[in-house]
Structure 1
C-alpha cells in the first residue's frame, strides 16, 4: 500500500491540499507515488490560475445576520486568488463540485455582466437603496480585476446613481479607483476597509500568499486617507500565537498610516476551513499547531468552531475577553473608533435610478460592453 502523501506547501498558494468538498460523492485520498515531485510534476508547475467568465442572473445578495454591519452585498468574483487560508468563503466552492482547497484559489469565476445586472436591479421600482458592501466574500480587487475591470465598472454604475458603497479589500489595486471613490466619499457615499492580518511579511507569504504585502497595505491606507476617503481597518483574523501577539503593533501601524477606525475578528473555522487551516498549521507551524488549536477551542466552548451569532466573531471565555480588552485599550489610546456601523452611516438620500437599462438579453463582451444575446 502506498503511503499517504506528506503535507507540503505549494509556492504561492495558501492551501496545502485540494481536499474534497462536503458535497462530493466520491471520496479520494492523496498519496505520494513519486511522480508529482519529479521535474514537470504538479508541484513543480504550481497551480495555474484559471478564470472562467460567467453570466450572473442576479448580483445583489441579502443577509439578516445581526453581527454583520451590512445587509446587502455584491461579489464580482467567486473563488479568490489571494489564497488566504482562513477565508470563510472557501466552503462555497463545494457547491460547484470543486475543492475549497487549492481549487478555491486557482479556479476563479468572474461575473462579467455584473455592472449590467446591477443597473437592472437598481432600476426596479421596488428597489430601496441602502449601502452595498462590495467584495465581502471574495476580494473585489484580486489579480484578474486588473484586466477584467468588473469592480471598476460596478463603481461607475454606483457613482452614476449616487448609491452608497463600502469596500473591503487586501489589495493595493483599489488605488486605481481613487478618482471614483474620492468623489463619492466627498458626498458621504463611499468608505473603505483594508484588512491587515500581520506585519510580518514571512507569515503573510504563507497565510495570504497573493494578497498585497503588509507594508504595501499600510501604504494603501495612507494613499486612500490622503485622498479624503474614510479608511477603516479590519484586524482579521486574530490567530492565537500566530498573529495575536501583534495586536498593539498592528493598531499603532494602521493609525500611523491614517486609518480612522478599526475592528477585529478572531479566527473562524467553519466547515472545510477547519481541516484546511489545521493542515496549514502542520505545514508551516508544526511546533505551535497544538497550542494554537487548544487556544481556539478555549474561545469556542471546547469546539473548533461555534456559529452562534453572539460569539462567532469575537469568541468567548477568558482568552477571548483578554483579546477584547487588549484591542479596546490600544484602540482607545490611539483614538481609533470602531467602524462596525460605518457602512450604515453612508448617505443613500441622493440615490437616483439609472436612466439607461441594458436589455434582458444583454451580455458583457470581453471589453465589458453590452452585447445582445442572439438566443435571448
Structure 2
C-alpha cells in the first residue's frame, strides 16, 4: 500500500466512497510514482489542494429530536451539515454518506448551510402545540465552524431563541463564539443559556493534525475565561479521550478550565462508528505509527474487544478496567478543581411567543 501524503489543513488522509455507493476507489502502486532514495518505497503525492464549497439549502424543519439516554437533551438544531474543523474523530462523519458524499475529505470540504434556519425556527416555536424544552446547538456539527463568521446562521438562530426567551445549550470547539458574547450574556441574565467548550488536548502539535481547523487549545481556554467573565455559565468537555495519546492531559485541562472560570466538566471516550474507524486508524498510523497499535489495543479493551460499541450507557465511557480507571481519574480531578459542585438547570418559565409571531391578526 503506498504511503499517502496528507492535505495541509485537513484531517482526513483520504476520500473513500460512502458505504451506500456501489463502486469503490482504492489507492494502489502502479509503479509510476516517485520512489524514495532506496528505490523501494513509493509515495502517493498530496491530493490537490481542496477548497471549501458551501451549498445553501432550504430546510423544511429545523428542530431534531432524539431519545438517547446518554445525553441531557431531546431536541437540537444543527445549522450546518459537514464541518470544516476537520476533526478526524468526528462521529458525525458518517452522516455525509446520506448525501452521497465521502465521510472523509468530503465531510470537511463539501458543506451545507441551512440559510433559512432562523425563519423556520421562528415558525416552529410559534406553533400553539410547541412546548419549550432546552435546545442543543452543536450536537452533531459545530455551530461555530469557520463559515459561521461569514454566514452568521448560528447567530440568527440565537437571536430567535432570545426573542422567545427559549433556553439553549451550546457545544463548540471554536473561540469565535465570543463574537456573540453580548447576546449570550443577555440570555444568561435570564438563565437561558449554557456553553460547553470541547478541549481534548493541550498539545498544539497533536491538535494541529487531530482537529486542524478548530481553534487552538489556548484560544479555547481564553474563550472560557471571557464567557465566564461575562456571566455566562461555561463548562468544559474533555473529548475525545484517546488512550495513550491525549489522556495524560485530562487533569491539566480540568485545572486550566477551572482557573478560567468553568463551573462543570464532562468527558467522552473516543467513538469510532462506521466509517470513522478506518479514517481514524489511517490518521493514527500516519502521524503516530509507534503508538498506533497500543492506542487501538487499549481502545478495544475499553470497547469489549471491538473498535466501537454503540450500546447506550456505554458508548460515551466504555467498559472494563481501563475505562473505570479513567472514570476515577476524572471524578477525583473534578473534586480537586471544585467542578460539578452544583446542578444547573435552564429555565423555560419565561418562554413567550412574540406578538409579531402570532398567526392570528389582532382585533385592534
Determine the structure 2 residue equivalent to 1:321.
324
Counterpart pick for 1:272 among 261, 275, 283: 275
Shift of 1:218: 0.5
- Aligned-pair Cα RMSD in Å: 1.9
Determine the structure 2 residue equivalent to 1:12.
9
Aligned residue-pair number: 350
Determine the structure 2 residue equivalent to 1:91.
94
| Cα distance in 1 for residues equivalent to 2:138 and 2:23 | 32
**Higher mean C-alpha deviation, range 24-33 or range 69-78:** 24-33
Counterpart pick for 2:222 among 219, 222, 226: 219
1:56 matched to 2:67? The reply is no
Shift of 1:290: 0.5
Identify if the C-alpha distance between structure 1 residues 283 and 338 changes in structure 2 by more than 3 Å, giving closer, same or farther: farther
| Cα distance in 2 for residues equivalent to 1:289 and 1:44 | 24
Q: Which runs of 5+ in 2 are unaligned?
A: 36-43, 360-364
Identify if the C-alpha distance between structure 1 residues 91 and 338 changes in structure 2 by more than 3 Å, giving closer, same or farther: farther
Shift of 1:338: 7.3
Preserved CA contact (<8 Å) 1:7 1:279: no
Identify if the C-alpha distance between structure 1 residues 248 and 123 changes in structure 2 by more than 3 Å, giving closer, same or farther: same
Determine the structure 1 residue equivalent to 2:38.
none
Residues 67-120 of structure 1, C-alpha deviations (whole Å, 9 max, x = no match) = 111111000000000000110000000001100000000111000000000001
Q: Which runs of 5+ in 1 are unaligned?
A: 360-376
| Cα distance in 2 for residues equivalent to 1:348 and 1:171 | 27
Q: What's the secondary structure of 1:110's corresponding residue?
A: strand
1:242 matched to 2:248? The reply is no
Give the number of the structure with larger relative contact order, counting CA–CA contacts within 8 Å between residues 6 or more apart.
1
Counterpart pick for 2:70 among 63, 67, 80: 67
1:231 matched to 2:234? The reply is yes
Shift of 1:229: 0.2
Determine the structure 2 residue equivalent to 1:363.
none
Determine the structure 1 residue equivalent to 2:362.
none
Q: What's the secondary structure of 2:197's corresponding residue?
A: strand
Residues 310-368 of structure 1, C-alpha deviations (whole Å, 9 max, x = no match) = 211000000000000001001101101079x74xx100111112433499xxxxxxxxx
Residues 184-232 of structure 1, C-alpha deviations (whole Å, 9 max, x = no match) = 1011000100000100000000000000000000000000000000001
Determine the structure 2 residue equivalent to 1:371.
none
Counterpart pick for 1:186 among 189, 206, 211: 189
What is the 5 A alignment of 1:1-376?
A: 4-31=1-28, 43=46, 45-337=48-340, 342=344, 345-357=345-357
Residues 266-325 of structure 1, C-alpha deviations (whole Å, 9 max, x = no match) = 011100010000001011001110000000000011011111112110000000000000
| Cα distance in 2 for residues equivalent to 1:107 and 1:358 | 37
Preserved CA contact (<8 Å) 2:5 2:47: no
| Cα distance in 2 for residues equivalent to 1:191 and 1:91 | 28
Preserved CA contact (<8 Å) 1:116 1:358: no
Identify if the C-alpha distance between structure 1 residues 137 and 42 changes in structure 2 by more than 3 Å, giving closer, same or farther: farther
| Cα distance in 2 for residues equivalent to 1:153 and 1:302 | 45
Q: What's the secondary structure of 2:293's corresponding residue?
A: helix
Q: Given the two structures, how large is their TM-score scaled by the length of structure 1?
A: 0.90
Shift of 1:173: 1.0
Shift of 1:29: 1.0
Q: What's the secondary structure of 1:329's corresponding residue?
A: helix
Q: What's the secondary structure of 1:280's corresponding residue?
A: helix
Identify if the C-alpha distance between structure 1 residues 203 and 338 changes in structure 2 by more than 3 Å, giving closer, same or farther: farther
Preserved CA contact (<8 Å) 1:63 1:72: yes
| Cα distance in 2 for residues equivalent to 1:354 and 1:30 | 57
Residues 119-170 of structure 1, C-alpha deviations (whole Å, 9 max, x = no match) = 0100111100000001210000111110100001101100010000110001
| Cα distance in 1 for residues equivalent to 2:45 and 2:165 | 48
